[in-house]
C-alpha cells in the first residue's frame, strides 16, 4: 500500500480541518505519512497517530505517558494498553486543543537531560532529529526538504532510516536524495547488543560466533568469541539478516543493505513513496502554511509519479551526521575505531569481514545446535558502500537546516574522509 494513501482518511468528517487548524499550523510538528495513517511527531516521538478505521471513521492512538494530566484523560477510549486509542470526535478535538501544551511538556519530560551522555545519547539524537527536520522544512534558505522520518520499506528485514531528504534544486538536472543517520556525540557509536547474547543458559535464538574475533577482557581478564544475533530462515537454511546492535556498526550494515540489496529494489520503492508522501502533504496544505519546498519540486507533484521518479538522482547519497560534538577530533577518532582496525578494537567492520563465522541456535536452556559452518560476512558490509557514504560532524545541535551537506561551517563543522576497505 502507498505510504501516501490518505484519501479515505480525509473523507472522515472534520478531520481535514482538524489537521489544518491544530496540527499543520504548529511548525514544531512533523507529519509522517504511513499507509492509511498520519503520525504526528514532536521531537521525533509519535505524539499521536491518526488511522482510518471504517465507514468514514478515524481512531487516534496516543501513548499513555503523554496523556497524563491532560483533558484527554476524561474522554472515553476504545482501548488502553501502552497506547490509548480514542475515537475522533468533537470532544477529542476540544480535549486535544486544551491539552496540546501539556502533551508537548510530557514528551519533553521523558527526555531527561540530567543524565550522562552515555545514558541518553539515543534520546537526544531522536529529539534533535525531530527539531532539525522541522527547522529545515520551515527555513526558506534551506537547500533541502525532509520528506520522511524513520522511513522503513514494507516487509524488509532492515532497520529504519532516520531521515530522507530531497534537494529543492537540481544537480545535473536531477533532484538529489540523501539518506541521513543522525547521531549525538561520539557515545552514539557504541553498540547495544541482544540481551543475554553471551549467556548460553539464557541466550535463546540464533546467533553467529567468530573464529578469531574476541570481546574485550572483562574484570576477570576473560575474553569470549565475538557474537552477533541473526535471523535465520529454517526452511531455506540461510541467514536472513544480522543484528549488529544499535551503534555505528549496525548503522553501516543497515544503510548499505538498503542501498545495495535486491538490485536497488528498496531505492526504487523509496522514490515512488517520496512522491506519494509529498503529494499527500500538498493535499493537506503543508506547503501553504509553514513548510517550504522548492518550486521545481512542487511543480513535479502536479505530474505523474513516473515523471517525478525520473527527475530524481539515480542513486541516493548517504550521510552519517554526528551532532553535539564537544570535540570534533574525539568524534572522528572514535568513529574510526569502530569502523577500522586498531590496537584496542574488538569488532571493527574490516575485521568482521575478514573473520570466519559459525551460526548456532540456542533453545534457551543451554542446548546449542551448530547450524551453518564457515560463514563470510563480506556481503554484509559491501566495500562499494565506502564510495557512497560521508561522515560529517558538527558542534551544533538544533541545526537550522541541512545545508551542512554542501556548505559546512569551518568554525563548527568537519568531515572525515574514511575508506575502510582501501
* CB burial string 147-157: b at 16+ within 10 A, e below: bbbbbebeeee
Pull the grid cell for residue 295: 518550486
Per-residue pLDDT of the chain (422 residues; tens, 9 = 90+): 456 578 889 999 999 999 999 999 999 999 999 878 999 999 999 999 999 988 889 999 999 999 999 999 989 888 778 899 999 999 999 999 999 999 999 999 988 777 777 778 889 999 999 999 999 999 999 999 999 999 998 778 888 999 999 999 999 999 999 999 999 999 999 877 777 888 888 889 999 999 999 888 888 888 889 999 999 999 999 999 999 988 999 999 999 999 998 889 999 999 999 999 999 999 999 999 999 999 999 999 999 999 999 999 999 999 999 999 999 999 999 999 999 987 766 678 999 999 999 999 999 888 999 999 999 999 999 999 999 999 999 999 999 999 999 999 999 999 999 999 98
Residue 26's alpha-carbon distances to 10, 31, 100, 289, in angstroms, are 19, 11, 10, 9
Domain 9-109 listed as CATH 3.40.50: no
For helices 248-260 and 328-339, the axis angle rounded to 10 degrees is: 70
pLDDT at 191: 78
Bridge partners of 42? 45
Break the chain into its structural domains and give their ranges.
9-109, 121-422
Q: Enter the pTM of the model.
A: 0.93
> Burial of 17 by CB count in 10 Å (0-12 exposed, 13-18 middle, 19+ buried)?
exposed
CB atoms inside a 10 Å sphere around CB 331: 26
What are 245-301's pLDDT values in tens digits? 889 999 999 999 999 988 899 999 999 999 999 999 999 999 999 999 999 999 999
Q: Are 416 and 396 a contacting pair, CB within 8 Å?
A: no
Bridge partners of 375? 357
Instruction: Please name the residue that has the C-alpha cell 539464557.
Output: 202
The 3-class SS string of the chain reads CCCCCCCCHHHCCCHHHHHHHHHHCCCCCEEEEECCEEEEEECCEEEEEEEECCCCCEEEEEEHHHHCCCHHHHCCCCEECCEEEEECCHHHHHHHHHHHHHHHHHHHHCCCCCCCHHHHHHHHHHHHHHHHHHHHHCCCCCCEEEEEEEECCCCCCCCCEEEEEEEEEEECCEEEEEEEEEEECHHHHCCCCCCCCCCCCCCCEEEEEEEEEECCCCCCCCCCEEEEEEEEECCCCEEEEEECCCCHHHHHHHHHHHHHHHHHHHHHHHHHHHHHHHHHHHHHCHHHCCCCCCHHHHHHCCCCHHHHHHCECCCCEEEEEEECCCCHHHHHHHHHHHHCCCCCCCCCHHHHHHCCEEEEEECCCCCEEEEEEEECCHHHCCHHHHHCEEEEEECCCCCCCCHHHCCCCCCCEEEECCCCCC
Amino acid at each position: 500500500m502507498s505510504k501516501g494513501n490518505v484519501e479515505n482518511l480525509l473523507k472522515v468528517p472534520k478531520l481535514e480541518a482538524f489537521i489544518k487548524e491544530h496540527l499543520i499550523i504548529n511548525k514544531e510538528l512533523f507529519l509522517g505519512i504511513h499507509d492509511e495513517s498520519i503520525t504526528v511527531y514532536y521531537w521525533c516521538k509519535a505524539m499521536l497517530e491518526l488511522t482510518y478505521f471504517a465507514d468514514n471513521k478515524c481512531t487516534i492512538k496516543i501513548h499513555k505517558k503523554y496523556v497524563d494530566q491532560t483533558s484527554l484523560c476524561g474522554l472515553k477510549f476504545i482501548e488502553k494498553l501502552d497506547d490509548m486509542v480514542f475515537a475522533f470526535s468533537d470532544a477529542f478535538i476540544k480535549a486535544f486543543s486544551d491539552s496540546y501544551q501539556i502533551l508537548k511538556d510530557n514528551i519533553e519530560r521523558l527526555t531527561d537531560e540530567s543524565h550522562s551522555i552515555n545514558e541518553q545519547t539515543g534520546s537526544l539524537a531522536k529529539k534533535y532529529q525531530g527539531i532539525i527536520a522541522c527547522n529545515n522544512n520551515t527555513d526558506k534558505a534551506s537547500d533541502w526538504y525532509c520528506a520522511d522520518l524513520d522511513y522503513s520499506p514494507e516487509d524488509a528485514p532492515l532497520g529504519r532510516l532516520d531521515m530522507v531528504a530531497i534537494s529543492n534544486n537540481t544537480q545535473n538536472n536531477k533532484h538529489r536524495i540523501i539518506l541521513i543517520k543522525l547521531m549525538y556525540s561520539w557515545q552514539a557509536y557504541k553498540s547495544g547488543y541482544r540481551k543475554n547474547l553471551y549467556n548460553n543458559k539464557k541466550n535463546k535464538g540464533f546467533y553467529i560466533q567468530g573464529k578469531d574475533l574476541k570481546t574485550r577482557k572483562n574484570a576477570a581478564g576473560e575474553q569470549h568469541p565475538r557474537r552477533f544475533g541473526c535471523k535465520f530462515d529454517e526452511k531455506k537454511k540461510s541467514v536472513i539478516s544480522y543484528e549488529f546492535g544499535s551503534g555505528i556498526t549496525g548503522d553501516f550494515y543497515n544503510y548499505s543493505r538498503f542501498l545495495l540489496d535486491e538490485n536497488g529494489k528498496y531505492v526504487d520503492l523509496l522514490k515512488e513513496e517520496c512522491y506519494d508522501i509529498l503529494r499527500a502533504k500538498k493535499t493537506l496544505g503543508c506547503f501553504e502554511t509553514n513548510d517550504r519546498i522548492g518550486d521545481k519540486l512542487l511543480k513535479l507533484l502536479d505530474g505523474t509519479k513516473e515523471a517525478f521518479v525520473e527527475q530524481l538522482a539515480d542513486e541516493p547519497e548517504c550521510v552519517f551526521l554526528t551532532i553535539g560534538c564537544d570535540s570534533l577530533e574525539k568524534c572522528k577518532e572514535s568513529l574510526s575505531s569502530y569502523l577500522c582496525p586498531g590496537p584496542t578494537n574488538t569488532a571493527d567492520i574490516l575485521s568482521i569481514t575478514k573473520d570466519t563465522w559459525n551460526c548456532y541456535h540456542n533453545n534457551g536452556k543451554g542446548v546449542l545446535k551448530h547450524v551453518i559452518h564457515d560463514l563470510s560476512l563480506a556481503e554484509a558490509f559491501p566495500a562499494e558502500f565506502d564510495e557512497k557514504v560521508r561522515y560529517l560532524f558538527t558542534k551544533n545541535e538544533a541545526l537550522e537546516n541541512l545545508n551542512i551537506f554542501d556548505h559546512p561551517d569551518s568554525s563548527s563543522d568537519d568531515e572525515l574522509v574514511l575508506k575502510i576497505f582501501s
